[in-house]
Amino acid sequence: MHEMTSEMLTAVRKATEEFSRETLIASGKMVSDRYRSQSGEQKRLHKLQEAAAYAVSRMPATYGAAHFALMQSLLATRLNQVKTCLDCGSGTGSVALAVSDVLQVEDLFLLEREQSMAKICRRIFAEKHIDATLLEKSLLDAELPLCELVTEGYMLVELSENMRATAIRKMWNAASEMLLLVEPGTPEGFSVIRTARTVLSDENAFIAAPCASDICPMDRDDWCHFSVRISRNQLHKQIKNGLAPYEDEKFCYIAFSRKKPSDRTRCRILRHPMIFPGKVSVEMCTADGIGNEVFTKKDPLWKQVRKVKWGETLEMFPESGMS
């Protein structure tokens, strides 16, 4: 549901075909090791082969996370028509591809400071025949165009903490309708989401998704994150040094809206539901806080609960309160 289409994967393959399988595997492992062991500026990918390896190994997962977050945010705001979009820290284009897949955007702007990432992105978008204006500048230095939708994916976490607030405000000021932030599903990624909530709390920004409450009920020692399952091809498995035909991408996200969201969730599923004979136990976040609800076959939401997945919404009937 949230996976790149075969046409998108073909575009990525063609954009990186100048590099041998061996080069992509070796570069991919170097990039992966760097992302695990380094932080901030040390994660920057200057070489074209590194950007190519990143595209092959990471784009399916980051696209999946962005697609999920975008779909949930659009459902909450009912923002179905978006003509202008700016993607900040666009990298090789994962988030922008998700936006193009979901919305009929007429003016798409991509902000990316790394020449290597921008070059691979251009190739992919050319293969997909997607028109986009690529701005090769850093977020803090660029003059941002005003767009209805502004997005970023896995970019803020790479900035130093003292730069994040400025970056968040700058993106919000460029968004005339909605700002969507997607970050890694880690404690640090969630700390970026917390920072965004604090920074924009006095900016007349409404939280559209995924939260059921303006005040986060998550314990300081815990973090709210979601997951999408993404298929792996043979090259993907070799770069990741894994045998599983899939990977689970963990991510955090938050969407801010200029208008009060018309369909904000009252109940977000926080973990995989636990299914037992005749009952289902669900951990969820509501306006009243975080708690567990046990549903049986007698509950009016039984059929819905059996199908709901981690990260999705469960709009409870009035008579179905938290236990």
| 195-233 pLDDT per residue, tens | 999 999 988 899 999 999 888 888 878 899 999 999 887
pTM, full prediction: 0.91
Q: Tell me what percent of the residues of the chain surpass a pLDDT of 70.
A: 93
Band (pLDDT 50/70/90 cuts) for residue 44 is: low
Give the pLDDT of residue 317: 46
With beta carbons less than 8 A apart as the criterion, state whether 200 and 170 touch: no
Structure tokens at 236: 């993907």
For residue 116, which phi and psi values (nearest 5 degrees)? Answer: -65, -45
- Whether the upstream peptide bond of residue 217 has omega within 30° of 0, thus cis, is no
Give the pLDDT of residue 319: 41
Give the H/E segment covering residue 54.
helix 48-77
CA distance 82 to 71: 13
Instruction: Sort 198 into a burial class: Cβ within 10 Å, 0-12 / 13-18 / 19+.
Output: exposed
Mean pLDDT of all residues in 163-170: 96
